[in-house]
Amino acid sequence: MSRADTRTNPAPQARAPAELKLAFDDNRFASLVFGQYDQNIAKIEHRLGVVANASGNHVILKGTPEACGQARRVLESLYERVRQGQAITLGDVDGAIAEIALQGSLFPRESDGPRVNFDQITTRKRGAVRARNVAQDLYLKMLKSKELVFAEGPAGTGKTWLAVGQAVGLLEQGVVERLILSRPAVEAGERLGFLPGDMREKVDPYLRPVYDALYDFMDGRSVERGLQTGMIEVAPLAFMRGRTLTNACVLLDEAQNTTSMQMKMFLTRLGEGSRMIITGDPSQTDLPNGQVSGLAEAVRLLDGVEGIGHVKFSGADVVRHDLVRRIVAAYESSGPSDGRRPG
């Protein structure tokens, strides 16, 4: 796959800098690894503190021996993904760096020790989608092993997107027979009659993020066919009342906007052969002042109950964009807020 040549230049003080040369077998694959205008190389330089010069199928890494070794393993990991036909994004580069960092922390004296691979989900349209950090890895493991999973955290951590991907994967594998995707339409008070259009046109604005994730993981024609046949249902939370949901994967997004009674109602819809995923950001709620969030209450009451998983993401787990990560970190470091969205 690649050949490495490492040279260490002696230095009188501290740790000597290293120079490591990599050569990949396929120029086309190498160019995909390096990224458009070498953007993936630039990301590796920034994150690992190395200097990398790419040309053709070669790359020269300069920095500390440890950093160069990490950069080499990241590049080799990305090359293997490209070789398997997977696309590479800047988020995937971040994920590869996180994987290599975890491997180094588990095997500090064995730089080429047992390989640590984050978990992944697979759908027909996107193929394999791998977790990009430890929190996402834990999340995917829980989605596969627990009947009910709570995921809390800020925007950009992949809570909803990965949940929809897991749901689509379960549907395509025949584990469940249908998908039910829901959000509370708090801004409309779940009184949708005054809005124009049929029911789908009324609720679409509140469910658009869920639709976007769905189309990411499924072909558009399959989504439309599923919506027409009832195999896929996208509906506001109010429509769940009085139902028992069997052999289904049920996702409740923006769950921080549920009341205590709404959350209890939703949780008790779980039927035989079903999975339930509940996601939300406790710091962003549209509930009236003094109203207890059903998500926060449910997480507290159900802590430790067998069959229920709970993952809490932080600003450090944001995978959307480096600037979003810094924005979330700034808000988190400013101290607690009242959890209300700015007007």
Classify residue 239: in a domain, yes or no. yes
Question: Is the model's pTM score more than 0.85?
Answer: no
Classify residue 339: in a domain, yes or no. no
Within this chain, do residues 293 and 172 fall inside the same structural domain, yes or no? yes
Within this chain, do residues 202 and 59 fall inside the same structural domain, yes or no? no
* Greatest CA separation for the chain: 77
Within this chain, do residues 49 and 145 fall inside the same structural domain, yes or no? no
Amino acid at 330: A
Within this chain, do residues 218 and 112 fall inside the same structural domain, yes or no? no
> What pLDDT does residue 110 have?
47
Within this chain, do residues 292 and 329 fall inside the same structural domain, yes or no? yes
Q: Which domain holds residue 57?
A: 2-117
Please answer whether residues 283 and 309 qualify as being in contact, where contact means their C-beta atoms are separated by less than 8 angstroms: no
Classify residue 151: in a domain, yes or no. yes
Classify residue 340: in a domain, yes or no. no
For the chain, 343 residues long, give each residue's pLDDT as a single digit of tens: 666 665 555 544 445 678 889 999 988 999 999 998 899 999 899 888 999 999 888 999 999 988 898 899 899 989 988 888 888 888 888 888 887 876 654 444 444 544 557 888 999 998 888 888 889 999 999 999 999 999 999 988 999 999 999 999 999 999 999 999 998 875 444 454 555 555 556 566 667 888 889 999 999 999 999 999 999 998 888 888 888 899 999 999 999 999 999 999 999 999 999 999 999 998 888 888 888 899 999 999 999 999 999 999 988 888 766 677 778 778 777 765 555 554 4
Classify residue 343: in a domain, yes or no. no
Do you know the residue count of the chain? Answer: 343
- Of 57, 85, 117, which marks where a domain is finished? 117
Within this chain, do residues 229 and 294 fall inside the same structural domain, yes or no? yes
> What pLDDT does residue 116 have?
58
Please answer whether residues 248 and 240 qualify as being in contact, where contact means their C-beta atoms are separated by less than 8 angstroms: no
Within this chain, do residues 189 and 322 fall inside the same structural domain, yes or no? yes
- Of 90, 117, 144, which marks where a domain is finished? 117
Classify residue 342: in a domain, yes or no. no
Within this chain, do residues 112 and 133 fall inside the same structural domain, yes or no? no
Within this chain, do residues 93 and 130 fall inside the same structural domain, yes or no? no
Residue 108 maps to which CATH number?
3.30.1370.10
> What pLDDT does residue 285 have?
85
CA dist., res. 52 & res. 269, Å (int): 54
> What pLDDT does residue 204 have?
64
Within this chain, do residues 134 and 183 fall inside the same structural domain, yes or no? yes
- Of 117, 140, 167, which marks where a domain is finished? 117
CA dist., res. 92 & res. 81, Å (int): 10
Classify residue 11: in a domain, yes or no. yes
Within this chain, do residues 68 and 45 fall inside the same structural domain, yes or no? yes
Number of domains composing the chain: 2
> What pLDDT does residue 132 have?
83
Within this chain, do residues 263 and 285 fall inside the same structural domain, yes or no? yes
Structure tokens at 146: 């627990």
